[in-house]
Every structure is written in structure tokens, then in C-alpha cells.
């Protein structure tokens, strides 16, 4: 059905390899020949067969992106960024969902044959932790996102969680808040975004010499709006006094803000609220939600760039000293964050 190199070669009156050379922009081709071939190509509407190319050359032009769930806005916006970035490099993105923190599913994915036709993987785990670091020793290029695993044997693109959470907390302190509730802590967690952001929160308190109060931590299991709402409700019911809420992500903050307003608190007059993630929708809530933009576009751009470098490095003949098995050590990249002050933390 579809035209092949053979057909094009026959029409153009050259060898099949010459056509291949034209398609691949080989430099030593007589202009007249190139023209003939290009004409035949468009005439037959020839398109290279990617399976065959991939079989022969080992490259597919597809990168994998594994993330928990697209229905979580943060990951949807991240995927959007990654796809746009990949498109600039003429790569196509295959998305795998690992579910909301399903450790086994994440580990299984890393060795799934489903990744076969992928040149490399950008992986954002939510369930694995540093004890699973060995699973990251895979045979394909891998770039890690997120805060679950540090010091692994792979490149890692992450955000400045501690610093950013500290900045968010300081923002509230600057506005005179002294009893800052945290919504979204994970009970007993030592790694991961929640732990890091709580750490930044505590550092900011310490720096301002504001005492830390355990009862201001609202625990949740997942980071959905519902969880934020529930934690906020519990905290209100517990009778703890607070004058600000730091949602460890925007979704939690929006859920919490909803409950606050329902309970009669005015935002920001009675309680200031800040989130984290820089979601688009924080611009349109009532009131608009102050938040931390963790540098999502930069994260996506860096992840794709690094992955592409790794993919290139593995197929190119090793330049320079060949005794180094891998020319680059795994590297950690940290995107810049920025604080978006909006109505939810405005001073009256």
C-alpha cells in the first residue's frame, strides 16, 4: 500500500540507498539527483517506515513520560509542557499513568516492554522512595522528576522545594501571620514533596523565631481537593487557632479555601491562604490564590534536553578519552521558582 524506498528509487531511477541518503540529508548528493528524488517522494507521497528505521538504527523518535495521573492538574500541565518541548525537537511523547503513588506499578513500569519503542523515559514517581534506588538502574536513558528519590544513578530534574516553601511561609509571616496552618502533610514521611515543603516551612518559622506547633499540621493521604477540604474541616473542628493556611499544593489550598469560606472565615481578611504549583486555575479562584510557581516549564525543558543528550551520547561514537564508560556523571538540575502574590494573601 504505502510507498517504500524501493518504489521511490524505481521512479527516480536511482538506487534505494540514494533515496535513503536524500531523506536523511546526507551531504554529498548532486543537486539534480536530490531534486529528482524529492520529486518522486512527493509524487508517491512516500513516508519513512518508522518501525523499520527503528529496527535498523535503534532510534524511534519517541520518548516516554510516566506520571501518576493526568487528571491531577499539575501533571496535566507538566505533560503539556513536555509535549511542547518534545515537539520542538521533533519527538513524540508516549504517556504512561502509574496511578496515584502506586509503588509496585511504578517499579513494574520501569521494566515494561511497553517502553520498548521509546528512546528514553522521563519518570515522575510518587510511590517509590530512596530504598528503591536500585530499580533505576535501567538499560535506557532515564531522567527522573520529583522529590521522591535523591542521589539515584540517573539525571534528576527537580525544584527548590525547601527554599520555595520557605519563601511562601516567609511571605505569610511578612504579612503579620503567626499561626500558619499547613494542609497536606504526610504522616511520618521522610522523603517527598510534603516532607521537603514542611521542612521549608519550619525553617522559615525558625528564622523568624516563631514557635512551631505540631497541631497546625493537617495530614492527608492524597493531594486532591477533597483531601484539602477534609483536613481543613478537621482542623477547624479541632478548635486550633490559626491566621493563615499554607496548602502544600494548589489543589489542597483551593479545597481548604473553600471550606474556610463555608465556615465563615474571610480570605484574606481573617485567614491568608497560599498554595504551591502555580496552576493556571489559581488565577481564577475567588479570591485569586497566591502560589509558588516552581518553574514547571523550565523543568520540562530541562528534562527533555537532558534526555535527548543522553540518547545522543549513547549512540554516538565516544569522543575523547574512551576509558570513561559514561561521559557524564548523573547530574541534578534544580529549576528556579517564583512567588505569585495574589488576593488570598493581600493585606487589607
Partner DNA sequence: CCTCGATCCTCCAACGTTGTAATCTCGTAC
Partner DNA sequence: GTACGAGATTACAACGTTGGAGGATCGAGG
Q: Is 207 in the site for a second copy (CB under 8 A)?
A: no
Q: Are 242 and 180 in contact (CB under 8 A)?
A: yes
Nearer to DNA, 10 or 70 (CB): 10
Binding a second copy by CB under 8 A: which of 92, 221, 263, 341? 92
Distance (Å, rounded) from C-alpha 303 to C-alpha 311?
Answer: 12
Question: Minimal CA–CA distance to 200: which of 171, 167, 174, 165?
Answer: 165
Distance (Å, rounded) from C-alpha 315 to C-alpha 331?
Answer: 20
Q: Mask 95-114, x = binds DNA (CB under 7 A)?
A: --------------------
Residue where the block lists cell 542521589: 151
Q: Which three cell numbers stand for residue 288?
A: 485569586
From the CA atom positions of the chain, what is the Rg in Å? Answer: 25
Q: Which does 6 bind (CB under 5 to 8 A by kind): a second copy, DNA, none?
A: DNA
Residue 21 CB, shortest distance to DNA, in Å, is: 6
Distance (Å, rounded) from C-alpha 45 to C-alpha 7?
Answer: 11
Binding piece for DNA, criterion CB under 7 A, among 53-61, 136-144, 177-185, 331-339: 53-61
For 253, phi then psi, to 5°, come to -60, -40
Q: Which three cell numbers stand for residue 44?
A: 508517491
Residue 201 CB, shortest distance to DNA, in Å, is: 51
Binding piece for a second copy, criterion CB under 8 A, among 47-55, 176-184, 234-242, 300-308: 47-55
Q: Is 28 in the site for DNA (CB under 7 A)?
A: yes
Binding a second copy by CB under 8 A: which of 9, 41, 66, 93? 93
116 class by beta-carbon count within 10 Å (0-12 exposed, 13-18 middle, 19+ buried) = exposed
Q: Is 311 in the site for a second copy (CB under 8 A)?
A: no
Cβ neighbors of 14 (< 8 A, separation 6 or more) are 33, 36, 37
Q: Is 286 in the site for a second copy (CB under 8 A)?
A: yes
Using CB under 8 A, list all residues that contact a second copy.
Answer: 1-2, 47-52, 54-55, 60-62, 69-71, 73, 76-77, 79-80, 83-84, 87, 92-97, 113-114, 116-117, 139, 225-226, 229, 254-255, 257-258, 261-262, 280-281, 283-286
Amino acid at each position: 500500500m504505502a510507498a517504500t524506498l524501493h518504489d521511490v528509487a524505481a521512479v527516480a531511477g536511482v538506487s534505494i540507498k540514494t533515496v535513503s541518503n536524500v531523506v536523511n540529508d546526507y551531504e554529498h548528493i548532486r543537486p539534480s539527483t536530490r531534486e529528482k528524488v524529492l520529486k518522486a517522494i512527493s509524487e508517491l507521497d512516500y513516508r519513512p517506515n518508522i518501525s523499520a528505521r527503528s529496527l535498523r538504527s535503534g532510534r524511534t523518535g519517541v520518548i516516554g513520560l510516566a506520571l501518576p495521573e493526568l487528571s491531577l492538574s499539575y501533571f496535566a500541565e507538566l505533560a503539556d509542557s513536555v509535549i511542547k518541548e518534545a515537539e520542538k525537537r521533533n519527538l513524540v511523547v508516549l504517556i504512561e499513568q502509574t496511578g496515584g503513588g502506586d509503588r509496585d506499578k511504578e517499579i513494574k513500569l520501569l521494566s515494561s516492554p511497553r517502553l520498548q519503542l521509546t528512546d528514553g523515559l522521563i519518570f515522575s514517581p510518587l510511590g517509590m522512595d530512596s530504598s528503591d534506588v536500585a530499580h533505576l538502574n535501567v538499560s535506557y536513558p532515564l531522567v527522573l522528576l520529583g522529590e521522591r528519590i535523591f542521589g539515584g544513578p540517573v539525571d534528576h530534574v527537580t525544584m527548590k522545594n525547601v527554599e520555595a516553601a520557605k519563601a511562601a511561609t516567609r511571605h505569610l509571616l511578612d504579612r503579620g501571620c503567626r499561626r500558619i496552618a499547613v494542609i497536606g502533610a504526610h504522616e511520618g514521611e521522610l522523603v517527598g514533596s510534603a516532607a521537603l515543603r514542611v521542612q521549608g516551612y519550619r525553617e522559615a518559622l525558625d528564622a523568624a523565631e516563631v514557635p512551631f506547633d505540631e497541631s497546625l499540621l493537617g495530614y492527608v493521604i492524597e493531594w486532591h481537593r477533597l483531601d484539602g477540604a477534609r483536613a481543613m474541616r478537621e482542623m477547624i473542628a479541632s478548635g486550633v487557632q490559626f491566621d493563615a493556611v499554607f496548602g502544600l499544593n494548589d489543589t489542597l489550598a483551593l479545597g481548604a479555601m473553600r471550606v474556610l469560606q463555608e465556615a465563615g472565615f474571610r480570605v484574606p481578611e481573617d485567614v491568608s491562604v497560599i498554595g504551591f504549583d502555580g496552576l493556571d486555575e489559581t488565577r481564577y479562584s475567588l479570591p485569586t490564590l497566591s502560589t509558588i510557581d516552581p518553574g514547571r516549564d523550565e523543568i520540562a525543558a530541562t528534562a527533555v534536553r537532558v534526555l535527548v543528550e543522553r540518547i545522543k551520547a549513547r549512540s554516538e561514537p565516544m569522543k575523547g578519552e574512551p576509558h570513561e564508560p559514561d561521559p557524564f556523571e548523573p547530574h541534578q538540575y534544580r529549576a528556579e521558582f517564583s512567588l505569585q502574590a495574589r488576593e488570598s494573601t493581600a493585606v487589607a
